[in-house]
Chains A and B, each alone.
Chain A
Amino acid sequence: MTLPLADTSFAEASWVLVVKSLVIFAVIFAIVPVLTVIERKALGRFQSRYGPNRTGKFGLMQPLADAIKLIGKEAYRPQNALPLLWALGPILVVFSGVTVLAILPWGDVQDVGSGPVGLYGIDVSIGILFFFAFGSFAFYGLLLGGWASGSKYSFLGAMRSAAQLISYEISMGLALLGAIMMAGTLSLPGIVEAQDEIWYIVPQILGFLIFMVAGFAEANRAPFDLPEADAELVAGYQTEYGGMRFGSFMLAEYLEMVVISGIAATFFLGGWMGPGPGWLDPIWMLVKILSLVFVFFWVRATLPRLRYDQLMSLGWKVLLPLATVNVLVTAVLVTVL
């Protein structure tokens, strides 16, 4: 029996890898600031108002203004914070988001003259485990940042984020397990190729829903934004941060949304699959990611924040059993059929 590990059958020149990383980095970091303004505008429309529309045409310069304001702020550190760990928090959070971008598949292997090039950062053999390994890094950032701030609000926010991670990471992994079993591979490009006939959202609709719900929790988004809980905890783990350190947390939150949407698009929406020639693949992937990010905004505009015990019982009593049943049924069906 062979382990379901990915194998890259070709080697890429190192300069290709450098170019690929730069392009992915540049594209995503161009999209993330735009997402902030799109979110605020979408939230506005959901609430029958405009949202930001004063800075530049249609308010599109808003992220620039925000960035200038954040960078211009004094780097202030509370007296009882632990300097090193405190500074490490936002770095870790952004680091985890950026790393996962490497495995998002943006397209099939293309021949670009000098040999085949996969339109993704890397095709790692552990595939989705990479996502879980580095995705969970973000919580070290939140936990360290919240604890090292030396403030009770930050500490409470950090504790909540830790509890939330434990509750939802499992359901998230189990939700993906069904798709992995159907594809028979851990490699993300492999999983996309396995959806040639039918997107996994159809047979794995339950897995998709569980993954998205757990994804809201993982990205600390409403209705699971308890670690921030601005009504009770000021701003949770980011209370004591200001300027671009706070900006890094916000950046990471949006990055995380993109990453989770990307994983969901890869596993359930057929990744880069779509009509048109091969060079359209990244566009299709982007369209799918942005639609899923829009769902994040939509849910945020709709649902109120859960109470803490509701969060826990939803995670352990609803999502986990459902995900387990989903995995069991899929396993049986995959073996029988």
Chain B
Amino acid sequence: MSQEFPYLKEGDEVVAVQRGPKPGGPKGAYRAFVETLRGLKTTMGRLFEGPVTIQYPEEKTPVYPRFRGRHKLHRFEDTGLEKCVGCSLCVAACPADCIRVVAAENDPSDRVSAGERYAAVYEINLARCIFCGYCEVACPFDAITMGHEYEMADYNREDLVFTKEMLLADSLERTPLRREGE
């Protein structure tokens, strides 16, 4: 050891390093040949495995159950009343400042929401939204959740401002959900 590495002293800490074999020579040529064959075998294996591509517009990437896609507003299933009471906590929580809520008093004869007040205006500017999901966390009534929809491209910025009606509506296409272990 001391002859090979004259700068090393007895008792020095040494880290073992594994190096590949030296290139060149008949052995190197043989290795290059064998490794080439191994590479050819690997690519041929891919050929038999078949493609893993998801043909996007026809097939869609399945999302995880907790995927944060476009927001949804919810109604009570039994009464059909909106869950949102216009408290604006989501507005306060939003770091991107993309939610606008204008609250109004409920008319007891024609209720819109279950609480005292309701959201007369509820707009989310999806051009600003960063899909952090803080609104969902802030909401005391689970009125807003993050959905699974991720196809939101549009031609105009104005079209990306989603109104309450759009957020309440059921989405036309369902995004495939990733199954357990997928």
A residues neighboring B (CB under 8 Å): 42, 44-50, 298-299, 301-303, 318
Contacts and interface: CB of A to CB of B under 8 A. Distances in A.
A50 B52 CA distance: 8
Interface in B46-104: 46-47, 49-53, 55
B15 interface: no
Nearest to A44: B51
Contacts of A45: 46-47, 50-51
Contacts of B50: 45, 48
B18 interface: no
Interface residues of B, number: 15
B43 A298 contact: yes
A48 B52 contact: yes
9 contacts: A45-B47, A45-B50, A46-B47, A47-B46, A48-B49, A48-B52, A49-B51, A50-B55, A318-B29
Contacts of A47: 46
Interface of A is mostly: helix
A318 B29 CA distance: 8
Contact of B43 (A50, A301, A318): A301
A46 B43 contact: yes
B156 interface: no
B177 to A, nearest CB: 24
Contacts of A318: 29
Given A46-B43, A301-B43, 4 more contacts: A46-B46, A50-B51, A302-B36, A302-B39
A48 B51 contact: yes
B29 A303 contact: no
A146 B40 CA distance: 33
Interface in B24-52: 29, 36, 39-40, 42-44, 46-47, 49-52
A120 B44 CA distance: 34
B39 A303 contact: yes
B6 to A, nearest CB: 33
Nearest to A45: B47
Contacts of B44: 46, 298
